A and B are shown apart, each in its own frame.
Chain A
């Protein structure tokens, strides 16, 4: 049913449709309205679940770890410093292969203190062993939230649904909220193969000697690689039920003959789409939406760049002392190609810096550079800095 909703409210409704049995969250900044709306649904008797309001994000993650291991479908949400505080537990959830779903309302990291949107927080948890899916708009965020449970429970891997803070979470727009019957058909009741059960005692996350530790790590890595097929299946199945796909591992749009590509994660895609229609004199370009960042879809990416001479990788975070985070991964993935495009890598929109329409021609202009742009913060005004920091 189409409703005019704030992104956070829509996510709360989508989570409720998935019938979580335990929701645990820290209720204060940097929390979004998502858990506030969920707690209201619980208080109003519209969602029957245990809502645990905890004293920190470390506890929120710990509660959902334990509850999911004991056989409950769970949910939590956080962002920014809250995600960083969770990180130790995030590795544990993933390492124990517990199918938890959480939303990261992407926000910048301190210091300097910023409450605004970029994607440094989820990038900081890149190697925690979670599936990370990035949403271009609120509809995708709703659909991806439902899909996340199917993916998590089939792969026994936790899924982080990443949606841009403020830009999506605080934006009101028309969003199609799925019917309960559709979600029930899509998501069978949660069954965990290794459920903690006194009648069948097992231990999780115990000490592992060097005899087995590398094999455990390899199997976790392989599980994430194998999850690609499950992510694609989950999206295809959802599309067959609702008529809406959220973009599988990645999507490519734009004219077939284009030689320039722009790769983005998250909500910047919408502005680039609008700009593409407005800047009609600009060279033809393909827009590549990378939805699955972990697992990193190497083969799908190789197919997506076919015919491109220049690929501009846009990110909303950086690795200080090196440059981009996604850019180097894209370069590495494309080394196996015989004719790989030149890869330019820029960060923009850090700490909530507005990403205006005219960013589109500025991005396309990078293709004219004599050498590929290794890394730059595209919208930084270096004249604000002392000479030695430029």
Chain B
């Protein structure tokens, strides 16, 4: 595996930075190199926020923003109306959108693939709060087959215990089953180097 770059778009309060950090920490759990960092604007609830993740088998040296991601994770589908959200997405790349609507409802580019997952609805059901990040990460890991979703559960185990961890674990299992497993397991959208 070469370097995989991911951009996560969300809104302040949706756990965007947490999502990026969790993904990089999960990579660390399975012995890969992960780098996560936010692109802060004004720090307030509801404002569009972006976070970046890089995953590689080698130490990651570059610290520039992710301009040409292989994958986008969109925590709020309304953000797709904001200009620039899909900019730089590599041909053959994938877009995972938090939405109850089918993928066909999103008219992006012909050379990228959209998958939807009703992450907020699932989170409301399992956690009692519509925070979509964990379900989206589970779906993303299942789609890419990058590493097992158990790595994500392990990372959450460092933060939560008891019932909260149990609910998150159930949510992760549910979200994992909602996407075609290994469907994005391809090297086309990856870039060389680190």
Contacts and interface: CB of A to CB of B under 8 A. Distances in A.
Contact of B40 (A115, A275, A354): A115
A356 B34 contact: no
Interface in B1-46: 20-21, 24-25, 28-29, 33-38, 40
Contacts of B28: 4, 174
Nearest to A116: B40
Contact of A171 (B33, B36, B61, B194): B36
Contacts of A274: 61-62, 193-194
A174 B34 contact: yes
Contact of A270 (B20, B37, B61): B61
B56 to A, nearest CB: 11
Contacts of B65: 354, 356
Contacts of A371: none
A267 interface: yes
B154 to A, nearest CB: 12
Contacts of A275: 62
Contacts of A267: 63
B34 A4 contact: yes
Interface string A345-373: 00000000011110000000000000000
A355 B25 CA distance: 25
A356 B67 contact: yes
A183 interface: no
A278 interface: yes
B64 A174 contact: no
- Size category, A interface: 20 to 34
Contacts of B194: 274, 277
A4 B159 CA distance: 13
A357 B64 contact: yes
Contacts of B20: 172
Contact of B193 (A4, A168, A174, A277): A277
Contacts of A302: none
Nearest to B155: A4
Contacts of B163: none
Contacts of B21: 6, 172
Given A268-B63, A270-B62, A356-B65, 7 more contacts: A4-B29, A171-B37, A172-B20, A267-B63, A270-B63, A271-B64, A357-B64
Interface of B: 20-21, 24-25, 28-29, 33-38, 40, 60-65, 67, 192-194
By Cβ-Cβ distance, the 8 closest A-B pairs, closest first, are: A4-B28, A274-B62, A171-B37, A270-B61, A274-B61, A172-B36, A4-B25, A356-B64
